[in-house]
């Protein structure tokens, strides 16, 4: 049954997640497009961070507010489990597995039977146990259980190596440039790496694409086999921030890692810190980054999806004007007090719009500037389908177009 599910998964992979792949690709492009302009429209300096690399990103706009060595390849440690959890959420949503499915624990998932797990964080699974996917997922998220990762990988894919292949499939789907997985839990292994930016992309995908899975990340404790363990993300208890995730990690090679997300006045920020010196530094520096972001910036809804941005003449169609706007909401993150200084410009790919035009066809771009610097650009699209007109429309518009050209 396990192998059959795995076979079905690979057959359906491209079809089930095709729309998600496009969405994730857009997320990725947006994040990478901010790299060169993240700091040029503001003089606000982030706090000093004692880590090898970090990044701070606004969830809605995708704008990078601060970064250092964000594309450096680092050992991800247990941040690897964010991808493991993401895959679980996707498979649950697609109906290929169910939270109540029972997984039989074998020796490979037992801390005394698998030398790789010796001395690492576990949820204390025992051989022969029947454990639900819901419990295993919480063991992964809250207890950082490496045994739970092995158990669920074996259940879904038949063995860990095949599941790791699945993880790298998703890494490619999310367009992660500096990530490669070699195990399911994040324990140190040569050749496994990720970056602060890639981990931020995975975190955004987790929150946006599998929200039911993400809800578990704010739970503070979990008890299994009469053993109560607390969520290892200490920021969940912080009273000065509304943190609802995401994941800690620590190994000798990685140092202290933390991906965190918090909300303030409907604004969500995501920070990823890799290679911290101590767990105390990791937590405090992540708090400092998030607080600085909320204190320094506002995220505003600049343009609404389907809202008419402008009308332009169209030729050879059944109508003579077409509504243009954006397909998806456009959010901007700007320094506080600068919201009214944002300048919105647009360009068209062609001076003349001609029917037929498909809905959401890209005909130009909208440019958002602050301090004469481009913050982001968004595709300018057709908001309504424009079909070809009749012979009279053609004759009339031919004359209209020639008069316009003569005037120009």
134 is annotated as an active-site residue:
no
Number of other CB atoms surrounding residue 182 within 10 Å: 17
Q: Is the pLDDT of residue 22 over 50?
A: no
**Does one domain contain both 53 and 92?**
yes
Parallel, antiparallel, or unpaired: how do β-strands 297-303 and 330-335 relate?
antiparallel
DSSP secondary structure code for residue 74 in this structure:
B
Catalytic residue among 53, 61, 81, 121: 81
Share of the chain above pLDDT 90, in %: 81
Choose the final residue of a domain: 243, 278, 300.
300
Choose the final residue of a domain: 300, 320, 344.
300
Q: Is the pLDDT of residue 6 over 80?
A: no
**Does one domain contain both 265 and 250?**
yes
53 is annotated as an active-site residue:
no
Catalytic residue among 61, 85, 109, 144: 144
**Does one domain contain both 81 and 193?**
yes
78 is annotated as an active-site residue:
yes
**Does one domain contain both 44 and 179?**
yes
Q: Is the pLDDT of residue 2 over 60?
A: no
Q: Residue 37: what pLDDT? A: 32
**Does one domain contain both 225 and 365?**
no
Number of domains in the chain: 2
pLDDT band at 366 (very low <50, low <70, confident <90, very high): very high
pLDDT band at 41 (very low <50, low <70, confident <90, very high): low
Q: Residue 15: what pLDDT? A: 38
- Locate 169 and state its tokens: 């499939």
Q: Is the pLDDT of residue 29 over 50?
A: no
Once rounded to an integer, what is the mean pLDDT over residues 227-255?
Answer: 97
**Does one domain contain both 122 and 248?**
yes
Rounded CA gap, 228 and 169, in Å? 35
Q: Residue 98: what pLDDT? A: 97
pLDDT band at 247 (very low <50, low <70, confident <90, very high): very high
**Does one domain contain both 240 and 342?**
no
pLDDT digits (tens, 9 = 90+) for 322-333: 999 999 999 999
Taking the alpha carbons at both ends of the chain, their separation in whole angstroms is: 70
Catalytic residue among 78, 85, 195, 271: 78
Q: Is the pLDDT of residue 173 over 70?
A: yes
Once rounded to an integer, what is the mean pLDDT over residues 169-187?
Answer: 97
Share of the chain above pLDDT 70, in %: 89
| DSSP per-residue letters across 172-232 | HHTT-SS-B-SSSS----TT-BB-HHHHHHHHHHHHHH-HHHHGGGG--EEEETTEEEE-S
**Does one domain contain both 166 and 260?**
yes
**Does one domain contain both 342 and 291?**
no
Choose the final residue of a domain: 300, 318, 340.
300
**Does one domain contain both 52 and 168?**
yes
Once rounded to an integer, what is the mean pLDDT over residues 238-242?
Answer: 97
pLDDT band at 17 (very low <50, low <70, confident <90, very high): very low
Once rounded to an integer, what is the mean pLDDT over residues 388-398?
Answer: 83
Q: Is the pLDDT of residue 216 over 60?
A: yes
pLDDT digits (tens, 9 = 90+) for 297-306: 999 999 999 9
**Does one domain contain both 171 and 318?**
no
Domain of residue 400 covers 304-407
Q: Is the pLDDT of residue 33 over 70?
A: no
pTM, rounded to two decimals: 0.86
Identify the CATH number of the domain in which residue 73 sits. 3.40.710.10
DSSP secondary structure code for residue 49 in this structure:
-
**Does one domain contain both 220 and 343?**
no
Q: Is the pLDDT of residue 35 over 60?
A: no
């Amino acid at each position: 049954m396990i192998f059959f599910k795995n076979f079905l998964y690979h057959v359906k992979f491209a079809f089930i997640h095709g729309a998600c792949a496009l969405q994730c690709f857009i997320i990725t492009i947006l994040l990478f497009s901010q790299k060169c302009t993240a700091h040029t429209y503001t003089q606000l300096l982030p706090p000093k961070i004692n880590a090898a690399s970090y990044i701070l990103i606004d969830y809605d706009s995708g704008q990078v507010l601060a970064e250092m060595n964000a594309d450096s390849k680092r050992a991800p440690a247990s941040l690897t489990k964010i991808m493991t959890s993401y895959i679980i959420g996707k498979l649950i949503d697609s109906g290929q597995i169910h939270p109540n499915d029972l997984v039989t624990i074998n020796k490979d998932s037992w801390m005394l039977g698998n030398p790789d797990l010796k001395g690492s964080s576990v949820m204390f699974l025992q051989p022969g146990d029947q454990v639900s996917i819901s419990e295993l997922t919480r063991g992964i998220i809250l207890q950082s259980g490496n045994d739970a990762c092995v158990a669920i990988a074996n259940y879904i894919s038949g063995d860990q190596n095949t599941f790791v292949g699945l993880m790298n499939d998703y890494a490619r789907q999310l367009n992660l440039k500096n990530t490669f997985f070699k195990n399911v839990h994040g324990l140190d292994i040569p050749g496994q790496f990720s970056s602060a930016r890639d981990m931020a992309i995975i975190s955004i995908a987790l929150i946006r694409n599998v929200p039911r899975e993400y809800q578990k990340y704010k739970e503070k404790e979990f008890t299994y086999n009469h053993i109560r363990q607390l969520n290892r993300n200490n920021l969940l208890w912080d009273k000065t921030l509304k943190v609802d995730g995401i994941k800690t990690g620590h190994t000798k090679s990685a140092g202290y890692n933390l991906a965190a997300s918090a909300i303030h006045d409907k604004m969500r920020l995501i920070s990823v810190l890799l290679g911290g010196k101590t767990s105390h530094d990791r937590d405090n520096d992540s708090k400092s980054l998030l607080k600085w972001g909320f204190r320094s910036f506002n995220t505003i809804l600049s343009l609404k999806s389907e809202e008419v941005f402008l009308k332009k003449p169209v030729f050879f169609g059944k109508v003579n004007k077409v509504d243009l706007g954006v397909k998806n909401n456009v959010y901007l993150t700007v320094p506080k007090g600068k919201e009214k200084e944002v300048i919105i410009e647009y360009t068209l790919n062609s001076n003349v719009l001609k029917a037929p035009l498909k809905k959401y066809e890209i005909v130009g771009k909208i440019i958002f500037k602050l301090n004469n610097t481009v913050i982001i650009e968004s595709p300018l699209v057709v908001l309504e389908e424009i079909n070809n007109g009749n012979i009279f429309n053609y004759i009339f518009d031919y004359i209209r177009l020639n008069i316009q050209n003569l005037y120009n």
